[in-house]
Amino acid sequence: MKYEYNKEPELYTPIMMRVISKRDLTPDVRFFQLVPKEEFKHLDMDYKPGQFMMLSLFGTGEAPFSISSSPTRKGIFEFAIRETGKLTNKIFELKDGDMLGLRGPFGNGFPIERMLGKDIIIVAGGLGAAPLRSLLLYIMDNRELFGRLIYLYGAKNVDDMLYKPDFVEMLDSEQIELFLTVDKGNEGYEDSIEEGKVTHLFKYVNDIDPANTIACVCGPPGMYKFVVTEILKYNLEKDKILLNLERRMKCGCGKCGHCIIDYRYTCIDGPVFTYWDVIHMRELI
Amino acid sequence: MRALKLAKKDEKKLFSVLEKFGEVWSPMPKGKRFSYEKIEDPEDLVLHEECIRTILPVKKFLMPPDFNILSFTPQKFTINNEEIPFKIVVSVPACEIHAVNILTKFYTTDYVDNYYMKRREKLIIIGKSGLPDEHCFCHKTNTSIVEEGYDLFFFDLGDYYLVWVGSEIGDDIVRKGSDIFDENLPKDVSQKFVEFRKQKNKSYKNNPDMEGVTDLMELMYDAEFWDEFGDKCLSCGQCTMACPTCTCFNIIDDLELNKELGHRRRYWDSCQFKDYSLVAGQHNFRGSKAERLKLWYTHKLKAFIGHFGSPSCVGCGRCIITCPVDINVPTVVEKLKS
Which residues in chain B are closer than 8 Å to A11, comparing Cβ atoms? 111-114
Which residue has better confidence, A133 or A44? A133
Per-residue pLDDT band for A190 (boundaries 50, 70, 90) equals: confident
CB contact under 8 A, B112 and A250: no
Phi, psi of A64 (to 5 degrees): -80, 140
Which residues in chain A are closer than 8 Å to B77, comparing Cβ atoms? 14, 58, 101
Whether A132 has a pLDDT exceeding 80, the answer reads yes
pLDDT tens for B77-87 read 888 888 899 99
What is the DSSP pairing of strand B23-30 with strand B87-92? parallel
Does A40 reach chain B within 8 Å, measured CB to CB?
no
Report the CATH fold assignment for A15-106: Elongation Factor Tu (Ef-tu); domain 3 (2.40.30)
pLDDT in the model for residue B67: 93
pLDDT tens for B103-141 read 999 999 888 888 899 899 999 999 999 899 999 999 998
pLDDT in the model for residue B280: 83
Q: In whole angstroms, how far apart are CA B112 and each of A236, A254, B97, B107, B264?
A: 37, 10, 20, 6, 19
Whether B294 has a pLDDT exceeding 70, the answer reads yes
From the list A5, A58, A247, which residue is nearest B262 (CB)?
Answer: A58
Whether B259 has a pLDDT exceeding 90, the answer reads no
Q: Could you tell me if A104 and A39 are in contact, meaning their C-beta atoms sit under 8 angstroms apart? A: no
Average pLDDT of every residue of chain A: 90
CB contact under 8 A, B110 and A253: yes
State which residue of chain A sits closest to B295, comparing Cα positions. Answer: A262
Which residues in chain B are closer than 8 Å to A3, comparing Cβ atoms? 104, 108, 112, 117, 121
pLDDT in the model for residue A2: 46
What is the DSSP pairing of strand B123-129 with strand B87-92? parallel
> What ipTM was reported for this prediction?
0.87
pLDDT tens for B195-241 read 999 999 999 999 998 888 888 888 888 889 999 999 999 999 999 99
Whether B290 has a pLDDT exceeding 50, the answer reads yes
Q: Could you tell me if B96 and B314 are in contact, meaning their C-beta atoms sit under 8 angstroms apart? A: yes
Whether B163 has a pLDDT exceeding 50, the answer reads yes
Q: Could you tell me if B301 and B313 are in contact, meaning their C-beta atoms sit under 8 angstroms apart? A: yes
Whether A8 has a pLDDT exceeding 70, the answer reads no
Q: A171-180, A230-239, B76-85: which range is least confident on average? A: B76-85
SS3 of A193, please?
A: strand
Nearest residue to A74 via CA among A38, A106, A111, A35: A35
Whether B245 has a pLDDT exceeding 60, the answer reads yes
pLDDT in the model for residue A280: 84
Per-residue pLDDT band for A133 (boundaries 50, 70, 90) equals: very high
Which residues in chain A are closer than 8 Å to B264, comparing Cβ atoms? 12, 58, 62
The answer, yes or no, to whether the previous bond of A71 is cis (omega within 30 of 0) is no
Which residues in chain B are closer than 8 Å to A282, comparing Cβ atoms? 221
User: Partners of A194 in the beta sheet?
Assistant: A181
What pTM does this model have? 0.91
Its CATH architecture, for the domain A112-244, is: 3-Layer(aba) Sandwich (3.40)
Q: What is the identity of the amino acid at A193? A: I
pLDDT in the model for residue B210: 87
Whether A4 has a pLDDT exceeding 80, the answer reads no
Whether A22 has a pLDDT exceeding 90, the answer reads yes
Does A262 reach chain B within 8 Å, measured CB to CB?
yes
CA–CA separation, A230 and A225 (whole Å): 9
Domain boundaries, chain A: 15-106, 112-244
Average pLDDT over residues B81-110: 92
Does A8 reach chain B within 8 Å, measured CB to CB?
no
CB contact under 8 A, A263 and B79: no
From the list A2, A5, A247, which residue is nearest B277 (CB)?
Answer: A247
The helix (H) or strand (E) run that includes residue A118 is none
Whether A1 has a pLDDT exceeding 80, the answer reads no
CB contact under 8 A, A60 and B295: no
Per-residue pLDDT band for A285 (boundaries 50, 70, 90) equals: confident
Best A91, A248, A261, A265 residue to mutate vs chain B (most B CBs within 10 Å) = A248
In chain B, what percentage of residues exceed pLDDT 90?
Answer: 64
CA–CA separation, A229 and A222 (whole Å): 13
In chain A, what percentage of residues exceed pLDDT 70?
Answer: 96
Average pLDDT over residues B51-55: 92
pLDDT in the model for residue A3: 47
CA–CA separation, B49 and B93 (whole Å): 11
